[in-house]
Amino acid sequence: MSLDFFEIGHRGAAGYIAENTVESVKKAMELGATGIEVDVHVCASGELVVFHDFTLDRVTNGTGEIAKKTLSELKQLKVLGEFEIPTLEEVVLALDGVPLLNIELKGQNTAKPVARFVERHVEKKGWAWRDFLVSSFQKSLLEQVYATHLPIMLGVLTDTDLEEALGFAQRIQAVSVHPDYTMLTQEHVKNIQSNNMQVITYTINDKVHIERLKAYGVDGIISDFPDRL
């Protein structure tokens, strides 16, 4: 990662347009985001799809588990009555000059397909390894990506134990720790950075908290409103 500070749109620009849609990603870029964060699952027909929840009920007109639906079935649904559920490939095709795509592994069985996806885009489509950051709360998924021995940048998400997250990040040679912003003090930030890790914190939408975390010296902030960063 090469920027001094990453302004990362959470699920695109979720504060403005339906989360994890191509339209939301494009909105985040319009608002000046220097990174985009999206969530991925593997659907029943094997494609990587961009969606947060394990079930469809909250944000679509469908119901049931996303992993049990084929891509063609998912494409018949609407997110908040208007938008399509995109594939990860569709999101990448929509990116235009954004320095970082943060792919959060949500569903089971996402680690190896995402690793192959990143490898293919680096080797055949002109992307660089530094353009992708793969993160997760789920240690087993990050361990599976690490076990591929590909130079994929890894980030460890945590909302419970910073020391544990840092220790795990060191074991899998991650580049960053991604704590809930309410966990962080300036001392925490400096401690993580002193261990050669970047601190990318989530999900901050209030300007006061944004400025406080910037003052702590974090390396990036994930927000539903990337224009506030």
Residues with active-site annotation: 10, 52
Q: Extract the runs of DSSP E, i.e. beta strands, from 84-227.
A: 101-105, 132-136, 153-158, 176-179, 198-201, 220-223
CA angle 41, 76, 40 (to 5 degrees): 10
In whole angstroms, what is the distance from residue 84 CA to residue 75 CA?
6
The token pair at 61 is 């007109």
Secondary structure (3-state) at 75: helix
- Sign of the dihedral through C-alpha 147, 97, 91, 17: positive
